[in-house]
Structure 1
Amino acid sequence: MTITASREQQILTSVPTDLLINGVWRPAQSGSTFAVIDPATGDELAQVADGTPADGIAALDAADAAAADWAATAPRKRGEILRRAFDLAIEHQEDLAVLMTIEMGKSLPEARGEVTYGAEFLRWFSEEAVRISGRYGRNPEGTGTAIVSHRPVGPCLLITPWNFPLAMATRKIAPALAAGCTVVLKPAELTPLTSLFLGSLLLEAGVPDGVVNIVTTTDSSGVGSALMADPRLRKVSFTGSTPVGKVLLKQAADNVLRTSMELGGNAPFLVFDDADIEAAVAGAMLAKFRNIGEACTAANRFFVHASVANEFASRLTAKVRELGVGRGTDDGVSIGPLINAAAVEKNAELVDDATSRGATIVTGGSAIDGPGTFFAPTVLTGIQPGTRLLREEIFGPVAAITTFETEDEGVRLANDTEFGLVSYAFTRDLARGHRLVDSLRSGMLGLNTGVVSNAAAPFGGVKSSGLGREGGLEGIHEYLDTTYTLIPAS
């Protein structure tokens, strides 16, 4: 169902546009604001407070002041607040979905799916809040009793990207709150509205003043640097590009901050000669074109066995040509706009580089005239070694296909990258599948599936794709310090 302009406006007017500091919505100290733009039309959606480093410190003041009481709050109570937040997110699913669609560009069905996924972190960690455990027992020498316990790390800075405005926020906020930490959330300046609306839901759910603070800003570096230089901050969790992540890791070293880094990806998608091609194509459509290809988990490099490459490319192209392109709130749209003009330019440059080296455009391959920042869903074949598409994260609806002959060659090509977030592989050979678990160097593997993300599973990568894990049993421990106590035997 197409969302009317009046309905969009009604939702927009319900979104706070100030900073959330100590439970109060307030303007930036400078009084400045910045525009949030609809990438499908170029129209302004709202003006949002443009926080300064001083505002960031005020938010940390609030988080620090609230830290002791929140850490002492009963785990059950923390869990109940998160559960109420889950219920409110589901209740407001359509509002959140429309906000994500108009400020980021993804289709409305995909945005609804993100609400389901993002809200699940609130529910999952509401349950994990009461399961923070430790150990108790005699030491091996029999000279005493060892107690291992966990406590919250303290105030945290959470920096989220623009491509999944709700899920990336809940994936960080939920485990932090469940563990007993207070937070300062800095959402991406391109998509702040979803995070601000989430902030209002968290207050409604009963989150105490100062436990969750939100600072929107166009000065990400200035605000982040000010917070990370303050010794009261004890952790930074960042999702974004690898170059920015490396800068943050260097800054974190000065105060020895705990860090979680979910950085860039360059996911390989392997199709072996024995694969179910229909299933592989379906998986490819999800792994590549979900979220307009603007996902760190998006399949970047398609390595297809030479014996099935033509069939795979033909079937994939047929599916790609069926994708509807347009504003995400319109009926029948699967591919919305890229986030901005720079993203369109990058995709065009990558395609041009590939064709200059001998690749063939099977479908798409160019920007679509505006208004809006659209790029046609694209399939390329004959990708040659050295092509930028094989080295760089695409972040767009471009599928680049090359071939391989043997399992060893396919694995070598898949691992030939500095990144290691996720890999995808399609094969009916169970033994090969088990070998791939060990041979593919990535933090996650989708074996005969094009989607791996789940709130109950640990999300994260290796190599230049980051440090730490979000979600699953592992996610809450990113926000806990471990304490060992020895009691001598009497």
Structure 2
Amino acid sequence: MEIGHFINGKYVKGTSGEVFENRSPVDGSLISLVHEARQDEVDQAVMAARRALKGPWGKMSMAERSAILYKVAEGIEARFDEFLRAECADTGKPWNMASHIDIPRGAANFKIFADLIKNVPDEVFDMPTPDGAGALNYAARGPKGVIAVISPWNLPLLLMTWKVGPALACGNTVVVKPSEETPTTTALLGEVMNAAGVPEGVYNVVQGFGPESAGAYLTSHPEVDAITFTGETRTGEIIMQSAAIGLRNISMECGGKNPALIFADADVDKAVAGTVRSAFVNCGQVCLGTERVYVQRPLYEEFIAKLADQARQLVIGPPDGKGVSMGPLISLEHRNKVLSYYEKAVAQGADVVLGGGIHSAVEKFPGGAWIEPTIWTGVKDTDAVMKEEIFGPCCSVVPFDDEDEAVQRGNDSEYGLCAAVWTENLSRAHRVAAQMDVGLVWVNSWFLRDLRTAFGGAKQSGIGREGGVHGLEFYTEHKNICIKL
């Protein structure tokens, strides 16, 4: 299978003839050959998006655009199995996860913003004037323009549509550069867009890499008005440098080194179940995942024993395997990175409670990026595995004595995406949540998401907020109009 670009409503292969291989994380087999975009293809996509702003899309009413976005969502739902198979092939994640989270959310992201855009309150203010007649101020909202969407490989359809949905709802046009690891569902969505009646040039896709490839060409393009990105903090810094030329707007969701604070009065079984999920779901490749676990000393030994016991029960295998709860990492290259942290942990004195190496599934699937879920104790707060984002199925469990210590150590990170607090004391829950330097705090839960709420991080975990009306704000250009009465 070959995958090309989607430009101005049509699939094209590009002029360079350069292709790269998209291989299965499960066994290393070839999934597809993907055409790499060069400057010419990016130019074509951006200019198609620019023209579409002034075409039928720009002239549609909000209600008409919302109706089309609902059709896009219905198109994803109608081809659910096709999207499911493509997503699982590219990522290696279990069907159970993709069928309950990735694909349903991919559709929901269009519906939620199609509804929200119709309910944004008007801003109208009357004001006095020296002559007593007064004046009226009101806000006019319009699209920001051509949006560059740089989406990641861990939740490809979900996080791409999380950006495309609100961008289109606000009347913008988009050029998407998906991760080179997961090109398929972003390309497939082009067919759904056409079938739903999305005009040519509104949704465009260019395939390729980041530096000196499609990503760099797109983020530096002078006709791009704003950039939205999810990925590593270092890549975000590079994109910020591109965006600085022309003072273009940016929205970024970047790295995390998220803590869980588990107090002695917590329901230990619920805390263990939540931590297993937050540390190992999607093979630990979740920006919101927990890599630092702080447990109050009276509960510490019991918690570790139960955490290790539950982690041992994870069923690891291919996407379609019976009862599989964890698949491989995205690639052999990423596995090498994660394994390097496994080695650093031991070298710096960590005790390995569970895992620590390549998983035995590699015997059946020798080309796959298999790895063991891993738990460490005996680590220091200054160790690499406590400071740097690993993005793999692992966590460090360390004891603490009191609330102040837990908050201080939980905040001891250059990142600030999210935190989980486990306690039966409601006053403590409010008190600790208020002190965490993060964008999201879960109390006695993890990954409960209402799409109407703000999503984003503090410190080096990102810039701006997505979700709800907060997400719509980024994609909207505001104009105040003052009329003298």
Aligned mates of 2:212, 2:417 — CA distance in 1: 25
Q: How does 1:163-312 map to 2 (within 5 A)?
A: 163-218=154-209, 220-312=211-303
CA-to-aligned-CA distance 1:335-382 (integer Å, 9 cap, x gap): 111111222222222222222233211111111343311111111122
Equivalent AA in structure 2 for residue 74 of structure 1: S
Separation of aligned partners in 2, 1:140 and 1:238 = 43
1:28 equivalenced with 2:14 (yes/no): yes
- Give the residue type in structure 1 aligned to 2:408: R
CA RMSD of aligned residues (A): 1.5
Q: Shift in Å at residue 126 of structure 1? A: 1.4
1:150-165 paired onto structure 2 within 5 Å: 150-165=141-156
Q: Which runs of 5+ in 1 are unaligned?
A: 1-12
Of 371, 376, 382 in structure 1, the residue corresponding to residue 372 of structure 2 is: 376
> Deviation per CA, 1:160-183, whole angstroms, max 9, x where unpaired?
011111111110110000000000
Q: TM-score, normalised by structure 2?
A: 0.95
Asked if structure 2 preserves the Cα contact closer than 8 Å seen for 1:231 and 1:255, the reply is yes
User: Aligned runs of 1:112-131 on 2, under 5 Å?
Assistant: 112=99, 113-131=101-119
2:110 counterpart letter in structure 1: L
1:31 partner letter: G
The structural deviation recorded for 1:114 is: 1.1
CA-to-aligned-CA distance 1:51-84 (integer Å, 9 cap, x gap): 1121011000100000123232111111111111
Q: Secondary structure at the match of 2:138?
A: strand
2:428 counterpart letter in structure 1? R
1:364-408 CA distance string (max 9 Å, x none): 111134331111111112222321111111211112111111111
Q: Identify the range of structure 1 (263-272 vs 125-134) with the bigger mean alpha-carbon deviation.
A: 125-134
> Which residue identity lines up with residue 226 of structure 1 in the other structure?
Y
Residue 220 of structure 1 and its aligned partner are, at CA, apart by: 4.9
CA distance in structure 1 between the partners assigned to 2:344 and 2:216 by the alignment: 36
List per-residue Cα deviations over 1:159-218 (Å, max 9, x = no partner): 001111111111011000000000000000010011111222122111110000000113
Contact 1:241/1:263 (8 A) holds in 2: yes
8 Å contact kept, 1:78–1:129:
no
Shift of 1:20: 0.6
In the alignment, the residues of structure 2 paired with residue 352 and residue 140 of structure 1 have an alpha-carbon distance, to the nearest angstrom, of: 69
Shift of 1:456: 2.4
The amino acid of 2:369's aligned partner reads T
Task: State the number of aligned residues.
Answer: 475
1:4 alignment counterpart? none
Q: CA deviation digits over 1:21-48, x for unaligned, max 9?
A: 1011111121222211001100001112
Task: Give the one of 420, 424, 448 matched to 2:420.
Answer: 424
The whole-number CA distance in structure 2 between the counterparts of 1:36 and 1:222 is 16
Q: Could you say which residue in structure 2 is the equivalent of 1:446?
A: 442
CA, structure 1 residues 317+140, in 2 after alignment: closer, same or farther (shift >3 Å)? Answer: farther
Does the 8 A contact of 1:347 with 1:398 survive in 2?
Answer: no
Tell me whether 1:74 sits opposite 2:61 in the alignment.
Answer: yes
Q: Secondary structure at the match of 2:469?
A: helix
Q: Partner amino acid for 1:163?
A: N
**3-state DSSP class of the match of 2:54?**
helix
Distance 1:305 1:295 in 2: 25
Q: Cα offset for 1:296?
A: 0.7
Q: Assess, with a 3 A threshold, how the Cα gap between structure 1 residues 227 and 345 changes in structure 2: closer, same or farther.
A: closer
Q: Kindly provide the CA deviation profile for residues 303-362 of structure 1, in whole angstroms up to 9, marking residues without a partner as x.
A: 111110111111111111011112122212211111112222222222222222332111
Give the SS at the match of 2:295.
Answer: strand
CA shift for structure 1 position 467: 0.8
Q: 1:111 aligns to what?
A: 98
Residue by residue, what CA displacement relative to the aligned partner does 1:270-293 show, whole Å, maximum 9, x if unpaired? 101110111101111221111110
**1:121-171: CA deviation from partner (whole Å, max 9, x where unpaired):** 111011123234431121255642111221110001000011111111110
After superposition, the Cα gap between the structure-2 partners of 1:232 and 1:313, relative to the gap in structure 1 and judged at 3 Å, is same
Q: Using the alignment, how far apart are the partners of 2:276 and 2:62 within structure 1?
A: 41
Is this contact kept in 2: 1:433–1:447, CA < 8 A? yes
2:70 match = 83
- Cα 1:271–1:123 shift into 2, 3 Å: same
2 CA distance for matches of 1:178 and 1:26? 26
Aligned to 2:4: 18
